Amino acid sequence: MVPAATIAQWVKNAVEQTAVHDLHTHLFPPSFKKLVLWDIDDLLTYHYLIAETLRLSDISYEAYWGMTKAQQAQHIWQTLFVENPPLSEACRGILTVLSKLGIDTSTRDLGAIRRHFPASEMQRFFDRTFQVANCSGVVMTNDPLDPVEREYWQSGTEVDPRFKTALRIDRILLDWPAVAKDVSDLGYRVSGDISGQTTAEVRRFLEDWVKRIKPLYVACSLSPTWRYPDDNVTTRILDQCVLPVAREHNLPMALMVGVTRGTNPQLRLAGDAVGKSDITSIHRICATNPRNKFMCTMLARENTHELAVAARKHRNLLVFGCWWFLNNPSLIEETTRMRIELLGPSFVPQHSDARVLLQLIYKWDHSRTVLAKVLTDKFVDLAATGWNVTQNEVTSAAKGYLAGQFQRFIDMKI
Ligand code: FIX
Ligand code: ZN
């Protein structure tokens, strides 16, 4: 029988040495200059840390938002790292990043830390981050209705090949009729009441953007109240526009379900919350559209188990990631254990959701540690049955979880 210590070493090596392909981030390539977030002030002003700071500091929302980014970062550092111990996952993440980059934090001096991130070094940090995070590529979140981003695509800006695309369509699915004017301003004959040529024109809009950015999948985040099917515009646009286009191009539709936007609008991006969602809608969308592929992550811990069960029922459904408030070691561990027990190798344990380039370093370091722990236990359990665990199968499991399963699903024809 292979000793547990040997298995642990094989798993650790395989999980550390396999390059991850990160299937959902909010990162942009260096050429999309206005959208790039990368340095220590960007790390500190991450919306996870804004929410944590405004719980502990007496500053008003208005005063916080009235500061420059550098002042906000300083305030967050002072509140979360100097006046309090940086115990939360998002705080620990910053310290992991700095430590992996060899930056000394012992003096707790933000000024000294900032000197490691001169603006002139931005480009170099891209290569360094991908290398330290052992990441081969990331999928962006690409919104054609964002005027700043659209300009980069329309002007043919070159994209670093490590950055893959995903066509994000939240506004098209959720903001009708308000969004009709924006789509119509782009030259599509659409109307707020979805009359006339509207659905054909929305399809043409989607087709044009599929051609332009060549996405790996189409994506939308949805609230806990989302139901499928429903007698509303979202179902109509899904059924008549999005799913036919996705089918035609063999693109999965990624459903990220369970976010209540703007629970506290004063917190802006940090003000979104979580709610329990409806798993039967996932069953129905997969069952009634068998020629479409779906990816799904759900934000509520309460939905995680039933989502794994749903994936057992629908081969056109890929479960992925521990999203946002689930991206904490304790919840990644229980979720990953349960998913392995129900789905074996056929899911994607994690995505980073990184908004700031350097976050790739900590999000993957922390997730890899948990994945290695769980995978070791599972292979040790196998060895205890007399199964002759081999280093090859350990390596191939790690490759599947970190890159292969996603690629397999993207390539799969149904
Ligand atoms: O909808 C999403 O893609 C979410 O991940 C984001 O909107 C969210 O703000 C986030 O950054 C979570 O990690
Ligand atoms: Zn996201």
Substitution site in 218, 257, 269, 324 for ligand 1 pocket (most atoms within 8 Å of beta carbon): 324
CATH number of this structure's domain 40-116: 1.10.2020.10
The residue contributing the CA closest to ligand 1 atom 11 is 353
Q: Which pLDDT score, from 0 to 100, does residue 69 have?
A: 98
Atom of ligand 1 nearest to the CA of 24: 3
CATH 1.10.2020.10-classified regions of the chain: 40-116
| Ligand closest in space to the Cα of 48 | 1
Q: Which pLDDT score, from 0 to 100, does residue 251 have?
A: 99
Q: Which pLDDT score, from 0 to 100, does residue 114 have?
A: 98
Atom of ligand 1 nearest to the CA of 355: 11
Instruction: Compute the distance from residue 324 Cα to the ligand 1 centre, in Å.
Output: 7
Instruction: Compute the distance from residue 179 Cα to the ligand 2 centre, in Å.
Output: 21
Q: Which pLDDT score, from 0 to 100, does residue 356 have?
A: 99
| Ligand closest in space to the Cα of 256 | 1
Binding site membership of 324 for ligand 1 (Cβ less than 6 Å)? yes
Binding site membership of 405 for ligand 1 (Cβ less than 6 Å)? no
Q: Which pLDDT score, from 0 to 100, does residue 293 have?
A: 99
Q: Which pLDDT score, from 0 to 100, does residue 180 have?
A: 98
Q: Which pLDDT score, from 0 to 100, does residue 354 have?
A: 99
Substitution site in 22, 49, 269, 353 for ligand 1 pocket (most atoms within 8 Å of beta carbon): 353
The residue contributing the CA closest to ligand 1 atom 1 is 221
Binding site membership of 353 for ligand 1 (Cβ less than 6 Å)? yes
CATH 3.20.20.140-classified regions of the chain: 4-39+133-411
SS3 assignment for the chain? CCCHHHHHHHHHHHHHHCCEEECCCCCCCCCCHHHCCCCHHHHHCCHHHHHHHHHHCCCCHHHHHCCCHHHHHHHHHHHHHHCCCCCCHHHHHHHHHHHHCCCCCCCCCHHHHHCCCCHHHHHHHHHHHHHHCCEEEEECCECCCCHHHHHHHHCCCCCCCCEECEEECHHHHHCCCCCHHHHHHCCCCCCCCCCCCHHHHHHHHHHHHHHHHCCCEEEEEECCCCCCCCCCHHHHHHHHHHHHHHHHCCCCEEEEECEECCCCHHHHHHHCEECCCCHHHHHHHHHHCCCCCEEEEECCHHHHHHHHHHHHHCCCEEEECCCHHHCCHHHHHHHHHHHHHHHCCCCECCCCCCCCCCHHHHHHHHHHHHHHHHHHHHHHHHHHCCCCCCHHHHHHHHHHHHHHHHHHHHHCCC
Binding site membership of 297 for ligand 1 (Cβ less than 6 Å)? no
CATH C-level class of 4-39+133-411 = alpha beta
Instruction: Compute the distance from residue 341 Cα to the ligand 1 centre, in Å.
Output: 27
User: Are 90 and 325 a contacting pair, CB within 8 Å?
Assistant: no
Beta bridge partners of 256: 221, 297
Binding site membership of 355 for ligand 1 (Cβ less than 6 Å)? yes
> What is the mean pLDDT, run by run of 10 residues, along the chain of 414 residues?
97 98 99 98 98 98 98 98 98 98 96 98 97 99 98 98 99 97 98 96 98 99 98 98 98 99 98 98 99 99 99 98 98 99 99 99 99 99 98 98 98 96
User: Are 260 and 273 a contacting pair, CB within 8 Å?
Assistant: yes
The residue contributing the CA closest to ligand 1 atom 2 is 221
Cα 193 to Cα 176, 180, 237, 355: the distances in Å are 8, 9, 12, 35
Binding site membership of 293 for ligand 1 (Cβ less than 6 Å)? no
Q: Which pLDDT score, from 0 to 100, does residue 136 have?
A: 98
Q: Which pLDDT score, from 0 to 100, does residue 236 have?
A: 97
Instruction: Compute the distance from residue 2 Cα to the ligand 1 centre, in Å.
Output: 42
